[in-house]
Amino acid sequence: MSLKLYRSNRLETLAEKLCELLERLPRHPTERLTIVVPGSGMDQWLSMQLAAHFGVCANARFPFPRNYFESLFAAVGPRAKEGESAYLPRNLAWAIAAELESLLPQPAFEPVRCYLEQAEQAGLRSEPGKCSSAYVTLCRRLGELFDYYVVYRPEWIHQWAAGYVAPDDWQAILWRAVVRRLGERHFAACARQWMERLQSQENANLPPVALVFGVTHLPPLYVSLFAALARRIDVHLFVPSPSPEYWAEIRSRRQYWREQLEHWGALEGSEDEFQAYEGNPLLASLGRVGREFQALVESSWDYEEVACYVPPAGQSALQVLQADVFHLRSRPSPEAPALALSPTDRSIRVHSCHSPLRELEVLHDQLRSLLEEDPTLQPEDIVVLCPDLQTYGPLIDAVFGSDREAPHHIPYTVADRALRASDPAIDAFFTIIELLQGRVSASELLSLLGCEPVREHFGFTSLDLEMARRWLADVGVRWGIDGRHRQNFGYPNFEEHSWAFALRRLLLGVAMPPDPTRLFAGVSPYPEAEAEGAQFAGKLAELCERLFALRPVLQRTHRVQEWAKLLDRIRQDFIAETDAYAYAHRQLRDALSLLAKGASDGGFDGEVPLEAVMPWLLAALEERSSAFGFLRGGVNFCSLRLARCIPARVVCLIGLHDASFPRSEPASPMNQAVQRRRLGDPDRREEDRFLFLQALLAARDHFFVTYAGRDIRNNSERPPAVVVEELFDAVDRTFVPPVPGSRARELLWVRHPLQPFSPQYFTGQPELVSFSATLCAGARQLFGPRHAPARPVVDLLPPPRERVVTVEQLASWVEHAPLAFLQQRLGVYLGAESEGPEDELPLDMDALATWKAGTQFLELRAKGVAPEGTYDVLRAMGSLPPGRLGRVLWERVCTMAESLWALVSPFAREQRLPPVDLDLPIGEWSVSGSLRRVWPKGQVIWTFSRLHANVMMRAWVSHLALCAARSRGDRQLPGTTFLIGRSQRDEPQLLEFTPCAEAMELLSDLVALYELGLRYPLPLVARPAAEFLERVAQGKPEAEARSRAEQALQGDWQQNVPERHKLAYLLLYRSMSPSLSDLEADLPATIPSFSVLAERVLRIMERYVCQAQEQANPAQEGRFDS
């Protein structure tokens, strides 16, 4: 029997040698092929290589080394099912939790007690039989630590089992207790027993041959196991190696001088001696993991080597660097001088960008450039490696998935994503639990409604989501299930703005008449619920009822098995069980089953909080994330560990910032092995460095790196990852700089501008490419002469087909003609008035909230509610801040609103007239609508707003409609309109519109302008027009009057126009805050100017409006809705 070691610098060559070996090996057609691989990415690549060679790859198994040996151990004795051992870290933690508590009082466990006290969990259990979250977290970390010892320090485990335990070694004491509970069936014990059986020549049920492919490092225990196995059967190991030379002894400069200092206590040695140890600087610096593996192999195995090396050929920068690594060559030297670097060499590029999004935009353009330049290159030949798929995953979809129907679309797949990031059902499951652990804000629950699996389960539609956004804003919900829930966050026990408060309003709105003044148990019914959707209100109430009923259950502690059942119930009660989410349900069920089984196998029956269970469950799901999608077609996005050593024509690495790569893992203070490091011990930072080197050597044609090298806010420079700097250093040593005094890296280092529409991308620079016609047009605008942007409406639209206008539409047009054009003619939807509910409690009232409360106060007074009674109604409607503050602010609003009501109430002495239904024929048009505030003395319009031009113009349109109806024969109608509101000094003000005999003519002129305004956006905005007329009336020059109107217009943009409206103005004026000149630019000849419209529309109104004499306080008040 023998151990045969196949080494090559090319994985493809090793795969060919494996295929040749399989052709020679005698094997029954039904016998299952087993090949040990280091990871799931390797098994996918190897199975494709086997299929390409043999025509099919079936009945093959690709276990990892530990799984492989566990199956061998199980073949010689009783063994738990593979992968379900009680000694796996996730299960070992529960056995530790079961034993640790009884051991804590011992003196040796003083460090553990101190650790728990520092975690503010002194006493360990708040109640008998209930474990704290810190306790379970500690046990989980100890489980991982003991598993580390089992693999990397098995002799410690054996010594502890034999009783060689120091009195103060609490880890050894705890381990012995765990072994007594579980039995000595851990991996180290099984390995020793298995090797003893091999030495005794007993029947071990061994396979005929062992095949190991693609391993680049192994723990020393695994090395020993393979050596023992090779004494009984043939073992074939196919090991990627960057060089045929013996490179286990080479050292980087830093490591060499450190070892000199540690060994001699001083910096002994010379530079010449160091050069003999360094070999190739890149391999010496980045290849520590591979060096240590080679040293382990040489010291542990008696093997027959089959060298399959293929010297790198070619003269590109990438191939030269690979050849230098292959030959352990360092440049410049007499034997290997520095080489000239061609300016057209694109084999290595490092792209510095401003953000992760820009990295992917640059990558997309660079890949498209390569694909168009080389017809033989296919998307499947490209691998993109990312150390942080959680951050870059959504951006990959945003950039590469945005043009799937375009002919130049680059197909792609993303593998190795965390299950939560890639599966909406699993994400919804964790979102529900996180929601209930927090404040349960309105935006959080709306986000949950937006989760497709939850939405499907409860039957919500996209229209329901928009309704939910509007309704929840109207009913005033902010956060908190109820008052008791808020107390957990240090707030008083009050119901306002909670979910209980909001749901009662919604459900009462369904059950009661739509009258918010009719309180039921202090709750005001939401009037729109009855009118728009009892079914939606029921679905929302059902969701909230199920959701909120879970919170007290989740707040308590439970046994682990009970947690598994409870969490599984959440899965069933909230996630749609359709075919689309079948995989997620299976993964969750399996993970929860393993959670319960692990605690049972570990003998743990204590109660734990939710915080102790969720990290375990999330970690279990992350372990189950697979390489699905890897090498399935298109550009392959994946993590570095998934594609280790796997060759590709183009290898790209994205996100190589200094702060994120290589990863660093702080040493655990409990890990006794840290102070006594050994050959082959894992080191995450060194593993990442080796992965970078493997990616560099796996690239066949091109090697690209991107990183965020500039701050997106201030453009300051940021360094790349240290491995990129080392690559730059290697380039500087290997190649002659293009210009004396410069560095060769400058030819490979591409610095990209901040914006993708920068003109630099379209000026012929070979390194800065873009394929977007839209971005090119934008760059042309920046690069070319500046000129006013073209307006989308350059000429009159055809007359509208419908010739009916309501009074409300006409008033909206008079108030703001451009906005009315967008909404009424172009049909631009500018969003609902409410942007959605807010999350913070209303602890103050801004101007808008004050206006809403004042308006509601006046409406309540019109319905006959007494002043004191308005407080209860406004509070029940959620219009006031909670507590005493709400009372204080209500008094402030009440004072102002009641002074306005004093002007309104005299009109209630007489019976209100029936609503005036309008149908006024004006030429080809008809003015319709209904006037509902008409009394014998006149039409009465009240508002809590200040009586600025917008309000007055709306009242003027209503007044013209009233007078026009009166002039058409209805002489019982009054001819006067009263407008009541606040003056600019916030004093009550009463304006009177006197009877207008020419109402039909004036209304006809307005309708004619309105028709013109539906064909073209007229430059008419009420407030600036009023300011203009005021200055003209004062005798000011027209230029000064326009300047004041301009100030009013810009102030209107800033203070009174919502952001959604500003965005709409881009459609008309290419500006979010257009000036008067923008409004009047390129007007057709038939369109009046701003000043003409102001005179024609607003000036006439001034002849009919005056300050009315204040009415005396009434002897009695009336009810306006009677």
End-to-end CA distance of the chain: 105
| Whole-number pLDDT of residue 437 | 92
By C-alpha distance, which of 725, 727, 726, 746 is closest to 736?
A: 746
Q: 1034-1053 burial, b if ≥16 CB within 10 A, otherwise e?
A: eeeeeeebbbbbbebbeebb
Please tell me the predicted confidence (pLDDT) of residue 792. 66
Q: What is the pLDDT of residue 1116?
A: 36
> What is the structure's pLDDT at 254?
63
**CA 577 – CA 935 distance, rounded (Å):** 61
Phi, psi of 738 (to 5 degrees): -65, -30
The whole-number pLDDT of residue 869 equals 84
Give dist(CA 238, CA 215) in Å, integer: 7
Predicted local distance difference test score (pLDDT) of residue 782: 75
Report the C-alpha gap between 374 and 376 in whole angstroms.
Answer: 5
Residue of 709, 792, 722 whose CA lies nearest to 753: 709
Q: 247, 294 in Cβ contact below 8 A?
A: yes
Query: Are the beta carbons of 680 and 215 closer than 8 angstroms?
Result: no
Superfamily of domain 345-417+628-663+685-752: P-loop containing nucleotide triphosphate hydrolases (3.40.50.300)
pLDDT at position 1121 is 39
Give the containing element (helix H, strand E) for 34: strand 33-34
pLDDT at 586: 94
User: For residue 518, which phi and psi values (nearest 5 degrees)?
Assistant: -90, 90
pLDDT at residue number 83: 38
List the chain residues with pLDDT less than 50: 80-84, 122-126, 128, 274, 1111-1122
Cβ partners under 8 Å of residue 132, min gap 6: 116, 121, 124, 125, 126, 609, 612
Name the token pair of 786: 């500046």
Q: How far apart are CA 805 and CA 821, in angstroms?
A: 13
Buried b (16+ CB within 10 A) or exposed e, 351-369: bbbbebbbbbbbbbbbbbb
**According to the model, what pLDDT value does residue 1122 have?**
30
CB count, 10 Å around CB of 667? 11
Q: Are 1096 and 1005 in contact (CB under 8 A)?
A: yes
Q: Helical H runs in 905-1021?
A: 949-967, 999-1013
Residue-level length of the chain: 1122
Report pLDDT digits (tens) over 557-613: 999 999 999 999 999 999 999 999 999 999 999 999 999 998 998 889 889 999 989
Q: How far is CA 1017 from CA 46, 500, 992, in A?
A: 66, 47, 31
CA–CA separation, 129 and 175 (whole Å): 22
Provide CATH code, domain 3-78+199-310.
Answer: 3.40.50.10930
Structure tokens at 561: 């098995």
What is the predicted pLDDT for the residue at 790? Answer: 63
Q: How far is CA 2 from CA 226, 227, 234, 546, in A?
A: 11, 9, 5, 64
Q: Which CATH number fits domain 89-184: 3.30.450.20, 3.30.390.50, 1.10.10.160, 3.40.718.10?
A: 1.10.10.160
Task: Say if residues 300 and 228 touch (Cβ distance below 8 Å).
Answer: no
* Residue 1083 CB burial class (10 angstroms; 0-12, 13-18, ≥19): middle
Q: Tell me the helices (H) and strands (E) count for the chain, helix number first.
A: 45, 25
Which run of H or E residues covers position 899?
A: helix 883-904
Give the Cα separation of 449 and 574 in Å (integer): 11
- What CATH number belongs to 420-495+532-623? 1.10.486.10
- State residue 620's pLDDT score: 84
Measured over the CA atoms of residue 105, residue 108, residue 109 and residue 111, the dihedral's sign is positive
Q: List the one residue out of 34, 26, 40, 1050 whose CA is nearest residue 628.
A: 40
3-state secondary structure 425-482: HHHHHHHHHHHHHCCCEHHHHHHHHHCHHHHHHHCCCHHHHHHHHHHHHHHCCCECCC
Pairing between β-strand 339-340 and β-strand 735-736 as defined by DSSP bridges: parallel
- Of 695, 726, 742, the closest CA to residue 253 belongs to 726
* Omega before 332 within 30 of 0, i.e. cis: yes
What pLDDT is stored for residue 130 in this prediction?
65
Distance CA(392)–CA(929), nearest Å, equals 55
Query: Quick check: 768 and 761 in contact, CB under 8 A?
Result: yes
H helix intervals, 336-387: 356-373
